[in-house]
Amino acid sequence: MIMPDIKREDILRWLKTDDPGALFAAADSTRATRFGGEVHIRGIIEFSNFCAKNCLYCGLRNGNSNVRRYRMSAGEIIDTALEAISCGYKTILLQSGEDKSYGTDILCAVIKRIKSGSDCRITLSLGELDFDEYKSLRDAGADRYLLRFETSDRALFKKLKPFSSYDNRISCIRRLKSLGFQTGSGIMTGLPGQTYDTLSDDMLLMRELDLDMIGIGPFIPHHDTPLANCIPGGLELALRVVAIVRLIMPNAHIPATTAVGTIEKDGIEKALKCGANVFMPNITPPGYRDYYEIYPNKFYHGMDPADSIYLAGNMLKRLGRYISPRAGDAMGNITGIKRY
C-alpha cells in the first residue's frame, strides 16, 4: 500500500490507531517492494562535540559546561574513514556540533582525501552554514547532507532552538537541494509540547520538501539540559511515524536511528521491520564516542568499524535482510523519476 496522496486526516488516523499492526505491515511491505532485503550501512564519525548553539534538548548545547569537549584532528577523521571504507562501508557520515573552528578549507581537504581512490559517498551533518560554505563542501565532493528541521511548529522551534530561526533552517534545506546535495531532514518524536497535529504537519512538510532521506528518532532527555525532567518520546510513536513516512514517501531512505536503539534494546530491529531501510553504526573512535553525548546511554553496535559492520551483518541476517553492496543513493521523488 503506497499512499503518496495521503491526506492530513489519514495521517492523524494512523497516528492515533489503537492497533498499529496493519500500519507496520503495510510499511514493511512497501519497504520490501522498493528495496528488497537490502539495508544500506552508513558509518557515523562524530568528529567534534563543540557547539555554538544552545538547543534545549541536546547534551552538547553550548551552555552545558559538564561536557568534556573534543575535536578529532583532520588526520584522525581521515584514518577512521579510510579504515571503515576498507571494511566495506560505502557511506561515511561526518557529524558534529556547530563548530566553526575547522573552517571549510580543512573540511574540504578531509572530504577530498577520503574520496580519493574510493567510490564512497560522504554525508555531512554539520548544522546551519552559509550558501558559500555549503557550496565549497559540495564542490569538494560531499554527496549528501542531513539537517533535521526538528519540528514544523514555529513556536515550538523557537522555544527549543533559541539560537536558530525556523525560516533559516528551512532555507538551508532548500539551499542544500539547489546545490545538488542528496538532502535529508527529519524530526524528534515525543518532544515536549508536540501534538499529533504537529506530527501530521511535520510529515506533510517532509513530503513538500521532497526529501531524499528522513531521520526520525524519539526525544530522549539529557540530565544536563533544561528538558532534563521531560518525558521521553516512546518507541511506538517513533515507529508509527517511520511507518507513515514510508507509506507517503516510498522512495525515501529512512534509517533505524540511534535514538530508537537507545530508547529500547530492540528498537533498531523493530524500526527495520516497519519501514526503515538504513542502519548507521557509530564508528567514532572509542576514546571520543562517550563524549558525544547528545542524550545518555547512546546505543552503539561494536567498538570499531570492522566489529560494527560484522555485528550489523549478523543482526540483518536474523531479520532475513542483508548489507547492500551498493552506495544507496537517492532513489528519486514520489513519482520515482528524479535521479542524481
Check if the beta carbon of residue 149 is closer than 8 Å to that of residue 169: yes
Q: Compute how many residues bind ligand SF4; rule: CB under 6 A.
A: 10
- 249 touches, from ligand SAM, ligand SF4, none (C-beta below 5 to 8 Å by class): none
Shortest gap between Cβ of 12 and ligand SAM (angstroms)? 23
CB of 238 to ligand SF4, least distance (A): 17
Q: Give yes or no for residue 58 binding ligand SF4 (CB under 6 A).
A: yes
Site string for ligand SAM, 203-232 (x = CB under 6 A): --------------x-xx-x----------
Residue 212 interacting partner from ligand SF4, ligand SAM, none (CB closer than 5 to 8 Å by kind)? none
The phi-psi region of residue 190 (left if phi > 0; otherwise alpha if psi is between -120 and 50; otherwise beta) is left
60 near ligand SF4 (CB under 6 A) = yes
Q: Which of 20, 43, 127, 267 binds ligand SF4 (CB under 6 A)?
A: 127
**Residue 190 touching ligand SAM (CB under 6 A):** no
The nearer residue to ligand SF4, 127 or 218, going by C-beta atoms, is 127
Residues 6+ apart with CB under 8 A from 327: 40, 90, 91, 119, 120, 121
CB 51 within 8 A of CB 98: yes
Interaction between residue 55 and ligand SF4 (CB under 6 A): yes
The answer to whether 268 contacts ligand SAM (rule: CB under 6 A) is: no
Q: Is residue 222 a contact partner of residue 294, using CB atoms and an 8 Å limit?
A: yes
CA–CA distance, 268 with 256 (Å, rounded to integer):
5
Residue 217 CA to residue 281 CA, distance in Å, equals: 15
Residue nearer to ligand SAM on the CB measure, 22 or 155: 155
Please tell me whether residue 184 binds ligand SAM under the rule CB under 6 A.
Answer: no
CA distances from 32 to 19, 38, 221, 275, 310 (A): 22, 9, 33, 8, 23
148 binds, among ligand SF4, ligand SAM, none (CB under 5 to 8 A by kind): ligand SAM
> Is residue 326 a contact partner of residue 333, using CB atoms and an 8 Å limit?
no
Contact of 213 with 144, CB cutoff 8 Å: yes
Binder to ligand SAM among 13, 71, 135, 148 (CB under 6 A)? 148
Residue 233: phi, psi to the nearest 5?
-70, 135
- Which residue, 188 or 316, has its beta carbon nearer to ligand SAM? 188
User: 571549510: which residue's cell?
Assistant: 104
274-313 residues in contact with ligand SF4 (CB under 6 A) are 294
**Which residues bind to ligand SAM, rule: CB under 6 A?**
57-58, 95, 97-98, 125, 127, 147-148, 150, 188, 217, 219-220, 222, 259, 294-295
